[in-house]
Structure 1
Amino acid sequence: MGFKKFSLMIALRTVVVMLTLILLTFLITTPGYHAATILTSLFLIVQCIMVFRFITKTNAELARFLDAARYADYSQRFEMKNLGAGFGELGNAFTDILKRFQAVRTNQEEELRHLKAMVEHVPVPLMSVHSDGVITLWNNSARRLFGSNHVTKLDDLSQFGEEFANLIKTLQPGERRLVTFEVDDMEQQLTILSTQIIIAGKQEKLMSMQNIQSELDVVQLQAWQDLVRVLTHEIMNSITPVASLSKTAVDLLDDAKSKITDHPDLAESLEDVSDAVHTVARRSDGLTKFVGSYRRLTRLPPPKKKMVKLNDIFSQVTLLGTQQWLDKGISFSSNIQPAELDVNVDKDMIEQLLINLLQNAEQALSHVANPAVTMSAYLNKRGHAVIDIADNGDGVPEEIAKKIFVPFFTTKKEGSGVGLALTRQVMVAHGGNVKLEQSAMGGALFRLTF
């Protein structure tokens, strides 16, 4: 309606100008109308000026409206009632359109903030690799994954391991891979899924990276427990009657030997049989105890966690685990930084675990000159409590290092292969992990991260 009135106003003003121009032409061509000619000329000039101002003012308001829409300046208001009939409605229309633009823009911004908040709180790290090699970390999980390390381009990924960097560079859209990721002295297993997206004509790879280290540890330990449970059950079912019968046979042979005194040849034969049966009985008993030790792997109770100061744990462990070290010439030192550091653990489990590790260190130093062991605790860069036990022994060969936490595996003649497997199980039950590294002293370093 406003635009129709605007057209009508333009037409009327144009008609008035044309009529005035015709009148002026008549007056000029007719002698004796000098005063009327002058007045008509002035009236025509005024009419032209009014038409020009009318059109110019409208164009200015329209340009202001378009600039406000272009630059999202929704504070503009259009009061055009003073321009004449119909322009009030046109101004109201401009103002209403800007208000609608503002409402749409506000809704879009709210949706964008909502989506950003959702992405920020997604527990899976999200990262984009652009075609020019630039990396964008989309959420808090991704930033926590890389910690304080600077990550803005592909070349920055080499600090987390060559395997990880190469996988990110070569992973194709739609592929899912498992890779080892090392950051802040912590090793994690990541499953990475790559997806290709195109935004504004530009391609990028969106990657989701999920840490499944704890899940792998739990599943692996559960598999070992199931295996050990089956093996121990079958072995015990087989060895129990053998042990029982061998002990019965020993008793019968001992009774028979006491009754045969006048047949030396028979007595000697019974002696040989008795020695053989005794051997079977001893081995059966030893195997029964050996299998019984593995049952601990399947009967570990859930840890009863509570906040405990590491200084109390270290004091108890030092008292119980290093009693004879001074006599054996083994140097021992411990350190906790900060001194008031505490952890949420089952105190009894962790104390026994540390004592076992100290005993392993003692055995590894049996032939080393100037043996030394250190036990230290600190917070790593990610705020996790860490306990290190290190020695200056020969260390663990690389080909063996990956097997030492596997049940049944041992390099000791009298070993059962339970100790370190149980250590790993205890750490997994606490939500942590245990790792073997080379110590600064040249020997082995067992790192417990909680």
Structure 2
Amino acid sequence: MVFKSFRFKVILRLLIITSVIVFIIYFIAKPYYYFTVGELLLLVIALIIELIRFIEKGHRQINQMLESLKERDFSLKFNPVEEGKVFRGQAKILTQLVQSYRDIRIEKEMHYQFLNLIVNQLNYGIVCFDADGKISLSNKTIKKLCGLSEISHISSLNRIDKNLSNAIESLKTGEEKLISVIKDGEFFKYSISCNEIRLLDSRYKLVALHNLHSTLQEHELDSHKKLIRILTHEIMNSVTPILSLSESMNENLKDESGNIKELNDISKEDAEDLILGYEAIEVRSRALMRFVNDFRSLTRLPDPKIEVVEIDSLFRNVLSLYRAEIDEKGIKLSVYITPDIETISVDRGMLEQVLINLIKNSIEALEDTFKSEIVIESLLLENSIAIVITDNGKGISPENLEKVFIPFFSTKKDGSGIGLSLSQHLIHLMGGTIGVKSIQGLKTSFSIRFPI
């Protein structure tokens, strides 16, 4: 049934050609009909050409449809009911085939967009690349880290760190590495992991880049607590015998009945030793007790009492404590408060304590600095409120940048090393984070962020 019309038209043309050939044979046998025979021969040739074109016409349309499929052009339509069209069955099948390809392409595009949507929701970087380093998939997190709207080659990751692309390309399947990066003066730790996938005849590497900054902060705080408990225990073990010794020495100054010995009964040398011993024990004991109490405060902080605080009032109260010192030392002070947000939900006392410590550190860092300046500002970021304190002091060296929040660590001669650690703990209790960026010899910025 498919070729019913086509067969009829072909047979009709063949019958006409056969009839003309019969006439040619008939007229060849008769003299004086050479001109007629010639005309009939031309007619046969014309009919044969027309038959060939008729047969090829349907094939040309089918070939055109197949060519469009090859070029992935699904806009062409094959209309089998149009006059002069043939192979209606094939036309119908081809039309269905084109529609199937079109549906597959739409479904594939939907899957790709769905995959992109999922990948872009991840809070860590994803990048997939082939053996030549050409990137076929990346998410907005990795693009944001690179500072680019689009990345096409793995070498673009060198914008994060100059050796990052080499580190990623050298990763083996299933391997995971920790890398340290200082970007724009800020210290970061990343975890990079790799898996290899095979699509058709090509191999691809799928790499995940995790920013461990927040996670490490939590782990550091837990480590700090354990460390402080151990130190408290050890120091108290030293302090107790010292206090006991002082009591024993006092007892040595008394006779069996508990009365104080006469001075004549104590030699001058023993008296001097006792006095020196008392003084040494007292000074050391008090110093150790203060040391212990300072560190014990890190693990016994009260729960924060969150309230709505005006940022302007907060800054004014804290700066009033240092206004005289800042003016005396000739430090330029600049304060900027974003008009986009005027209040912040925090524990006022805790945040004031942190700001006092940071401003104090900035003032100390500006010693011997020409045209010293401190900038305090509040900023409204994408998902957080930030308070940033910046000074143009000597800065922090790269090797010390990652240690500033560790208890006991201090670059100051008489520093206890608990100020920044305590500040980090207080900010963490209020649900925020604190970070530092420093370019040695240029500036240092401490940034406190609270989610909104």
In the alignment, structure 1 residue 315 sits paired with structure 2 residue 300: no
Q: Paired residue for 1:188?
A: 188
Structure 1 residue 279 displacement after superposition:
4.4
What does the per-residue CA deviation read over 1:11-46, in whole Å, with 9 as the maximum and x for residues that have no partner? Answer: 565356435533552465368999x99999999789
Determine if the alignment matches structure 1 residue 113 to structure 2 residue 113.
Answer: yes
**Compared CA separation, residues 354 and 250, structure 1 to 2 (3 A):** farther
Equivalent position SS for 1:315:
helix
Counterpart secondary structure, 1:259 = coil
Separation of aligned partners in 2, 1:291 and 1:318: 30
Deviation at 1:314, TM superposition (A): 1.8
1:314-333 CA-partner distances (Å, limit 9, x unpaired): 2111012345554x545351
CA distance 1:232–1:75, shift in 2 (3 Å): same
Q: Report what 1:94 is aligned to.
A: 94
- Equivalent in the alignment of 1:139: 139
Shift of the 438–311 alpha-carbon distance from structure 1 to 2, 3 Å rule, reads: farther
Q: Identity over the aligned pairs, expressed in percent?
A: 24
Please report how far the alpha carbon of residue 76 of structure 1 lies from its aligned counterpart in structure 2 after TM superposition.
0.9
- The separation in 2 between residues aligned to 1:149 and 1:250, in whole angstroms, is 75
8 Å contact kept, 1:427–1:448: no
- CA 1:280/1:154 → structure 2, altered by over 3 Å: closer, same or farther? same
The two structures, once aligned, show a CA RMSD in angstroms of: 4.6
Q: Give the corresponding residue for 2:127.
A: 127
The residue identity in structure 2 corresponding to 1:106 is I
**Partners of 2:187 and 2:401 within 8 A in 1:** no
Q: TM-score, normalised by structure 1?
A: 0.75
Give the secondary-structure state (helix, strand or coil) at the position aligned to 2:220. helix
Is 1:79 matched up with 2:76?
no
- Per the alignment, residue 220 of structure 2 pairs with 220
The answer for the alignment partner of 1:390 in structure 2 is: 391
String of CA shifts for 1:361-380, please: whole Å, max 9, x gaps. 45566x75989551322659
> CA distance change for structure 1 residues 33 and 361 in 2, over 3 Å: closer, same or farther?
closer
After superposing the two structures, state which structure 1 stretch, 289-298 or 344-353, moved more. Answer: 344-353
Q: Which moved more, 1:23-32 or 1:331-340?
A: 23-32
Alpha-carbon distance between aligned partners in 1 of 2:206 and 2:175, rounded to the nearest angstrom: 12
Say which SS state the counterpart of residue 123 (structure 1) adopts: coil
For residue 424 of structure 2, give the secondary structure of its aligned residue in structure 1.
helix
Alpha-carbon distance in 2 for matches of 1:186, 1:179: 14
Residues 346 and 58 from structure 1, CA distance in 2 versus in 1: closer, same or farther, beyond 3 angstroms? same
Change in 2 beyond 3 A, CA 1:174/1:318: same
Q: Matched residues in 1 for 2:239 and 2:279: separation?
A: 15
Aligned to 2:435: 434
Matching residue of 2:349: 348
Cα deviation per residue 1:84-117 (whole Å; 9 max; x = unaligned)? 9x95444433333333333333323322332333
User: Structure 1, unaligned stretches of length 5 or more?
Assistant: none
Q: State how far apart, in whole Å, the 2-side matches of 1:37 and 1:329 are.
A: 123
Distance 1:395 1:97 in 2: 69
In structure 1, C-alpha distance between the alignment counterparts of 2:46 and 2:166, rounded to whole Å:
80
2 CA distance for matches of 1:96 and 1:340?
A: 58
Which residue is equivalent to 2:444?
Answer: 445
Q: Specify the alignment match of 1:295 in structure 2.
A: 296
CA distance in 2, matches of 1:149, 1:26: 83
CA distance in 2, matches of 1:369, 1:40: 112
Aligned residues: 442
Matched-pair contact (CA < 8 Å) for 2:62–2:91: no
Residue identity matched to 2:292: V
Residue 162 of structure 1 corresponds to 162
Q: How much does 1:294 deviate?
A: 0.8
Change (3 A) 1:149 1:390: farther
Structure 1 residues 44-73: Cα deviation after superposition (integer angstroms, max 9, x where no partner): 789757745642442343234334434433
Letter in 1 for 2:62: L
Measure the CA separation in 2 of the matches of 1:39 and 1:438. 99
Matches within 5 A, 1:199-210: 205-210=205-210
Given that 1:260 and 1:267 are in contact with CA atoms closer than 8 Å, whether structure 2 keeps it comes out as no
Matches within 5 A, 1:7-46: 10=10, 13-14=13-14, 17-18=17-18, 21-22=21-22, 24-26=24-26, 28-29=28-29
In terms of mean alpha carbon deviation, does 12-21 or 344-353 score higher? 12-21
Show CA shifts across 1:271-301 (max 9, x none).
8547635643553344233212112222345
Instruction: Summarize the Cα distance change of 1:198–1:307 in structure 2 as closer, same or farther, 3 Å threshold.
Output: farther
Q: Distance in 2 between matches of 1:167 and 1:299?
A: 42
Pair 140,97 (structure 1): closer, same or farther in 2 beyond 3 Å: same
Distance 1:155 1:315 in 2: 48
CA distance in 2, matches of 1:321, 1:173: 56
Q: Aligned partner of 1:144: which letter?
A: K
* Alpha-carbon spacing, 1:381–1:144, altered in 2? closer, same or farther (3 Å): farther
Q: Letter of the aligned partner of 2:226 in structure 1?
A: D
* Distance (Å, rounded) in 2 between the aligned partners of 1:274 and 1:376: 51
Q: Per-residue CA shift, 1:379-422, capped at 9, x if unaligned?
A: 59988735124265x66677666544321234556543211221
Q: Contact 2:306–2:348 (CA<8 Å) still a contact in 1?
A: yes
Q: Do the aligned residues in 1 keep the contact of 2:131 with 2:204 (CA within 8 Å)? A: yes
| 1:226 Cα deviation after fit | 1.4
- Please say if residues 181 and 189 of structure 2, whose CA atoms lie closer than 8 Å, have aligned partners that are also in contact: yes
State the alpha-carbon separation in 1 of the partners of residues 365 and 399 from structure 2: 17
CA contact (8 A) 2:143 2:150 kept: no
Going from structure 1 to structure 2, the CA distance change for 1:200 and 1:185 (only over 3 Å counts) comes to: farther
In structure 2, what is the equivalent of residue 211 of structure 1?
211
Cα distance in 1, alignment partners of residues 120 and 262 from structure 2: 94
